[in-house]
Amino acid sequence: MSSAAHTNSVPRRKKGESNGRPPVDLARIQAAVREILLAIGEDPDREGLLETPQRVARMYEELFAGLHKNPAGVLGKTFSEKYDEMVLVKNIGFESMCEHHLLPFFGKAHIAYLPNGRIVGLSKLARAVDALARRPQVQERMTQELADLVMRELNARGVGVVLEASHTCMAIRGVRKPDSLCTTSAMRGVFQTNLSTRSEFMALLQTGK
């Protein structure tokens, strides 16, 4: 079967765009996957691989969906509230993709903020993590962008973010250390300038462990 037949079997989808990015080009991904299979010496026309390019294209569409979402929009609705103590949401699961090897990394995000007169629905913090996670990136940048997003959109007095993740690029290739865990943090506002606030955040992270 020709490459043209494969690349035309799944049409390019015209989805709503955001951030000025074009929609995912499924046909182009299919063609690339077919070429990779040929390059490693496989037969993309055998039964087991015949639909693999289409499957991979749709998988990438899902895994990279965050490229076409505006994370700020997730936190757009806030509520006036006099509560001025720390808000912490722990153990927000996420999956992302290492931009160096295009292999997944996944783990948990912990987000805390000190309100400045307004709070946000707790589920919105989880949605913000999802919107930022589903794209090719490094964990360090994701951590910083998440902290900056919450700080800016909530106009918070301070924000603390900790990400803990396992990286398959370390687990299945190279050094092959499947039990390794990468932890990154980003502090903003009083979480960065006030030691007691940071210490409270770190202590709360340990509760329930």
By annotation, the residues acting in catalysis are 98-101, 139, 167, 169
Structure tokens given for 120: 């946000």
d(CA 18, CA 205): 34
Q: Report how far residue 27's alpha carbon sits from residue 165's, in angstroms, rounded to the nearest whole number.
A: 32
Tokens 């995912």 correspond to what residue?
A: 24
Token pair for 5? 């037949």
Q: Is residue 170 packed enough to be buried (19+ CB in 10 Å), middle (13-18) or exposed (0-12)?
A: buried
Burial class from Cβ neighbours inside 10 Å (0-12, 13-18, 19+) for residue 144 reads middle
How many Cα atoms occupy the beta-carbon half-sphere of 122 within 13 Å? 9
Contact 147, 161 (CB under 8 A): yes
Residue 129: closest CA among 165, 175, 103: 165
Token pair for 57: 């294209």
